[in-house]
Chain A
Amino acid sequence: MKTFKGGFHVPDHKDLTASAAIEQMPLVTDYYVSLSQHIGKPAQPVVNVGDQVVEGQLIAQASSAISANVHSPVCGDVVEVVKRKNAQGVLVDTIHIRSNGRQDRQTLPALTDPTPQQIVERVAEAGIVGMGGAGFPTAVKLQPKDPVDSLVINAAECEPYLNCDNRLLLERTEQFLQGVRLLAKAIGVSNVYIGIEENKQQAYEKLLQQPHVIADTKEALASKQQDDIVVVQLKAKYPQGAEKTLIKACLNREVPVGGLPAAVGCIVDNVGTAYAVYDAVVNGVPLYKRLMTVSGGGINDPKNLEVAVGTPISAIVELCGGLKEDTVKLVSGGPMMGFSLMNTDVATTKTDSGFLALTDKEASSVLPTPCINCGRCASVCPMRLMPMYIDFYTTVGDTENAVKYGALNCFECGTCAYVCPAKRPIVQSVRLTKIKAKEKK
């Protein structure tokens, strides 16, 4: 089975929600739609306080080349535009919309047989961003500067607990594949790979049953036709779903240090992104809803939900039966790369793939002890760095040496900190060094 060097199989706890069908999040009263749900400049509001908006209406516009449109998730009134803390704890401009209970919806005209240019334009119009977590505007990604020959769809979902991609693959298989074909058309490639971890056997089999989808075997590849999509089964190992490790596993290409996937002729998109592209092109629905896994030992009733962007986490928690007494940590996103939350007074965004409530048993709160140089961090590092040195030099305040040992090449997957027996806060060190290195420049 294909994979990359390094990494570690983190217990995935996916059984909590693996068989929970997608449910719709019912309407709530207040929505807090952030204007910075993507990498790049915040969107510029195009509505005023007191305006009435309908579901799917454009409420903020992309403000520069790297930015994304934002649409209203609900039919209601704009109450205010305020600075509000997002999941990362940063104050960002947020539009507060109060629902008026109506269900009016505004959509874009559906496109039949669109040209590549039309797809890219629609993706930009619909405000689609990378839904794996980074939130890079997809329209920008679809117009790479380097020549590209392959599209890799990231269905690895290597983060423990999360199941939203898995459920989407199972329940909306055809729509997802349509989205993938639209993406391939937009960038003009015929080599399309879907990388999926072995622990999603059901979804893997479902994909292979579809027409023009073939497995990654020699016999199947020999008779590959122009529009066949190749499904590559990957070893269940964290961080299999990181861009660089996914490309390495599927195509055996190594993205150069500091480079983008396009440097090796690849574009990587998430399952959720492909589905959003389908929805935007075929149904004309902009991106204001996404799938989320609500899970963890501290959640009474774990679910997979389709949630409107801007829904307060507190409402989601309420729907899922509330929190258990022994919850010690709240996490937005996956447990390896997500952000810990101080409280549930935070709204969802386009990039939230999950919300977790972890108990003391799950979220280790053992305090750091001195490094014993065991080398586990280096042996699991997918970027083949030496995290023990980065942590050491950061701790003693030597940014220069921390950078020398590759702190800037780190994408903060957290595998090193997971396996560390001394519980060193290695990812925190990397982040600190990145900030300090930026300040120096």
Chain B
Amino acid sequence: MSYVYSSSPHIKSPRTTRSIMIDVCIALLPACLAGVILMFTANAAFPMLGALSLMHLVICCVTSVAAEWVFLLCCKKPFKQILAEFDFSSLVTGLLIGMNLYPTSKWYVGILASIFAVVVVKMLFGGTGKNLVNPAIAGRVFAFIAFGAAFGGAMSYVNPNTNSPMVFTSPISGGKVEGFDASGAVTGATPLQVLMGSAGTGATNTLSNLDLFLGTGVAGCIGETCKLALIVGGIYLVVRGVLNFRWPLVYIATTGVVSVLIAWISGCYNSEGVFIPELMGTKFAQAWEVFLPSILSGGLILGAIFMATDYVTTPNTKVGNYVYFVFLGILTAVLRKAVKGEAVSFAILLGNLVVPLIDMYIRRKPFGYVKPQKQRKAKPADEAVVAKEGD
């Protein structure tokens, strides 16, 4: 009888990479489900949006997993081993990319984004755990830059009820679903843009905070509209010990506060661009109206819970994580004000790239750490002794 011979410890926790990834998949399901249901009910005349959403999710999942397997097969890994080592991380990537598409995106966008995310961003860098940036975020940004209109743009269909051609445009993420009529391109303004005054004059906010929270009537990506479902998924991850509740909170709160500050300062300028200090008092109270919409708009909660907190692309220290998530929060709020769209994904992408730098400069002090003061003092003395001996 031979026994296993190895280094200690001889017992291990039941947690594995695979079980973590499966937990993340489970946590994403409520948001996927809510997204599909919301899209089904978004426009009574056109339930096909729901079917399109479901199609995107399935396409992205299948493509992501298939891309990983094909890549590994090309690397001459036996298929049995690929199956045995499959850790579900590509399924998470696929689900996230699907959730980051608009129902009106072209069918091939999801396929290409998935392949890009899995093959270029993850596998070419060395597979699970070696990617520099979150594959799903990179996939979304890739789709946004490469496809533009096809990613979130117009689609032509024939209205089955009236037999007249319909043009659908996807309004800016977080705005009201109002592009789905025959009149063509109507771009909605998000409540946040209305409140921050960057949506142009005359735009009005027609969505309440509750709408934003539940995702009812809110346009946007499949997975980002229903904040309630996302938070339920987040709580599941916290309970399962996969996610530290602190980090999404830090990110979201920072974004909210910085948005308020931006709204406050920009509110103090009059129409001629002159800063009026007298307005500061009254505008400060008003600025807080932006807080909830800024948190509940767009992809912030999806990004904060599921994408920015990706283990691989976050710093390794507590202090480093505070720096990282506060940085993301500020970046998101500033980008929202500056570019008026695609703030969260670009913020996370940029943040991911800063992580190695954070890890290089922020390290932990080990237990019993002693400041190396004595050594510094001793050094000149040592050199002096050496110099004397040299003489």
Contact B13 A419 (CB under 8 A): yes
A328 at the interface (CB under 8 A from B): yes
A385–B364 CA distance with the chains assembled, in angstroms: 7
Q: What residues of B have a CB within 8 angstroms of the CB of A244 in the complex?
A: 367-368
A428 at the interface (CB under 8 A from B): yes
A254–B369 CA distance with the chains assembled, in angstroms: 9
B79 at the interface (CB under 8 A from A): no
A372–B7 CA distance with the chains assembled, in angstroms: 21
Please, which residue of chain A has its CB at the minimum distance from the CB of B316? A375
B83 at the interface (CB under 8 A from A): no
Contact A363 B364 (CB under 8 A): no
Interface range on chain A: under 10, 10 to 19, 20 to 34, or 35 or more? 35 or more
A418–B14 CA distance with the chains assembled, in angstroms: 9
Contact B367 A327 (CB under 8 A): no
**Contact among B10, B87, B129 for A331, CB-based, below 8 A:** B10
**Contact among B5, B15, B87, B311 for A419, CB-based, below 8 A:** B15
B361-386, CB under 8 A of A: which get 1 and which 0? 00111111110000000000000000
Please, which residue of chain A has its CB at the minimum distance from the CB of B365? A384
CB of B124 to closest CB in A, whole Å: 15
Query: Which residues of A from 352 to 374 have beta carbons under 8 Å from B?
Result: 356, 358, 362-366, 369-374
Q: What residues of A have a CB within 8 angstroms of the CB of B5 in the complex?
A: 340-342
B1-41, CB under 8 A of A: which get 1 and which 0? 01111111111111111011000000000000000000000
Q: What residues of B have a CB within 8 angstroms of the CB of A281 in the complex?
A: none
Contact B130 A370 (CB under 8 A): yes
B278 at the interface (CB under 8 A from A): no
Contact A382 B367 (CB under 8 A): yes
Q: What residues of B have a CB within 8 angstroms of the CB of A259 in the complex?
A: 368
A188 at the interface (CB under 8 A from B): no
Please, which residue of chain B has its CB at the minimum distance from the CB of A431? B7
Contact B367 A340 (CB under 8 A): no
Q: Provided the pairs A373-B311, A406-B366 are in contact, do residues A414 and B317 lie with their beta carbons within 8 angstroms?
A: no
Contact A341 B370 (CB under 8 A): no
Contact A369 B17 (CB under 8 A): yes
A383–B366 CA distance with the chains assembled, in angstroms: 6
Q: What residues of A have a CB within 8 angstroms of the CB of B17 in the complex?
A: 369, 372, 421-422
A108 at the interface (CB under 8 A from B): no
Q: What residues of B have a CB within 8 angstroms of the CB of A428 in the complex?
A: 6-7
Query: Which residues of A from 369 to 400 have beta carbons under 8 Å from B?
Result: 369-375, 378, 382-386, 388-389
**Contact among A256, A339, A373, A423 for B370, CB-based, below 8 A:** A256
Query: Which residues of B from 88 to 122 have beta carbons under 8 Å from A?
Result: 89
B63-91, CB under 8 A of A: which get 1 and which 0? 00000000000000000000001010100
Q: What residues of A have a CB within 8 angstroms of the CB of B13 in the complex?
A: 10, 418-421
Contact A422 B9 (CB under 8 A): no
A417–B10 CA distance with the chains assembled, in angstroms: 9
A336 at the interface (CB under 8 A from B): yes
A214 at the interface (CB under 8 A from B): no
A330 at the interface (CB under 8 A from B): yes
Please, which residue of chain B has its CB at the minimum distance from the CB of A6? B367
Contact A254 B367 (CB under 8 A): yes
Contact B12 A340 (CB under 8 A): no
Q: Provided the pairs A338-B8, A363-B10, A364-B12 are in contact, do residues A257 and B129 lie with their beta carbons within 8 angstroms?
A: no
A202 at the interface (CB under 8 A from B): no
Q: What residues of B have a CB within 8 angstroms of the CB of A286 in the complex?
A: none
A336–B370 CA distance with the chains assembled, in angstroms: 29
B127 at the interface (CB under 8 A from A): yes
**Contact among A160, A369, A370, A389 for B11, CB-based, below 8 A:** A160
**Contact among A328, A370, A423 for B12, CB-based, below 8 A:** A423
Query: Which residues of A from 235 to 267 have beta carbons under 8 Å from B?
Result: 244, 248, 254-257, 259
Please, which residue of chain A has its CB at the minimum distance from the CB of B370? A256
A131–B7 CA distance with the chains assembled, in angstroms: 21
CB of A337 to closest CB in B, whole Å: 5
A29 at the interface (CB under 8 A from B): no
Q: What residues of B have a CB within 8 angstroms of the CB of A425 in the complex?
A: 6-7
Q: What residues of B have a CB within 8 angstroms of the CB of A420 in the complex?
A: 12-13
Q: What residues of B have a CB within 8 angstroms of the CB of A384 in the complex?
A: 364-367, 369
Contact A328 B4 (CB under 8 A): yes
Contact A330 B365 (CB under 8 A): no
CB of B71 to closest CB in A, whole Å: 15
CB of B362 to closest CB in A, whole Å: 11
Please, which residue of chain A has its CB at the minimum distance from the CB of B127? A370
Q: What residues of B have a CB within 8 angstroms of the CB of A369 in the complex?
A: 16-17, 85, 87, 128
Q: What residues of A have a CB within 8 angstroms of the CB of B369 in the complex?
A: 256-257, 384
**Most A Cβ at <10 Å: residue of B4, B6, B370:** B4
**Contact among B9, B15, B313, B314 for A335, CB-based, below 8 A:** B9
Q: Provided the pairs A329-B10, A383-B366, A421-B19 are in contact, do residues A365 and B4 lie with their beta carbons within 8 angstroms?
A: yes
A337–B368 CA distance with the chains assembled, in angstroms: 22
Contact A378 B11 (CB under 8 A): no
Contact A343 B129 (CB under 8 A): no
Query: Which residues of A from 281 to 299 have beta carbons under 8 Å from B?
Result: none
B312 at the interface (CB under 8 A from A): yes
A403-441, CB under 8 A of B: which get 1 and which 0? 000100100101101111111010110010000000000
Contact A414 B8 (CB under 8 A): yes
Q: What residues of A have a CB within 8 angstroms of the CB of B10 in the complex?
A: 329, 331, 335-336, 338, 340, 356, 358, 363
Q: What residues of B have a CB within 8 angstroms of the CB of A414 in the complex?
A: 8-9
CB of A390 to closest CB in B, whole Å: 12
Please, which residue of chain A has its CB at the minimum distance from the CB of B16? A421
Q: Provided the pairs A160-B11, A383-B366, A385-B366 are in contact, do residues A421 and B20 lie with their beta carbons within 8 angstroms?
A: yes
CB of B72 to closest CB in A, whole Å: 13
| Top 6 A-B pairs, shortest CB-CB distance | A414-B9, A364-B12, A428-B7, A370-B129, A374-B311, A372-B129
Known contacts A372-B17, A373-B129, then 12 further A-B pairs from the complex at CB < 8 Å, ordered by chain A residue = A328-B3, A329-B4, A336-B11, A343-B3, A372-B89, A374-B311, A383-B367, A384-B365, A419-B13, A421-B19, A421-B20, A425-B7
13 residue pairs of the A-B complex, CB under 8 angstroms, read A10-B13, A335-B10, A338-B8, A340-B3, A362-B11, A369-B16, A373-B129, A374-B311, A378-B364, A383-B368, A384-B366, A385-B364, A386-B364
Residues of B with Cβ closer than 8 Å to A? Answer: 2-17, 19-20, 85, 87, 89, 126-130, 311-314, 316-317, 363-370
Residues of A with Cβ closer than 8 Å to B? Answer: 10, 160, 244, 248, 254-257, 259, 327-331, 335-343, 356, 358, 362-366, 369-375, 378, 382-386, 388-389, 406, 409, 412, 414-415, 417-423, 425, 427-428, 431
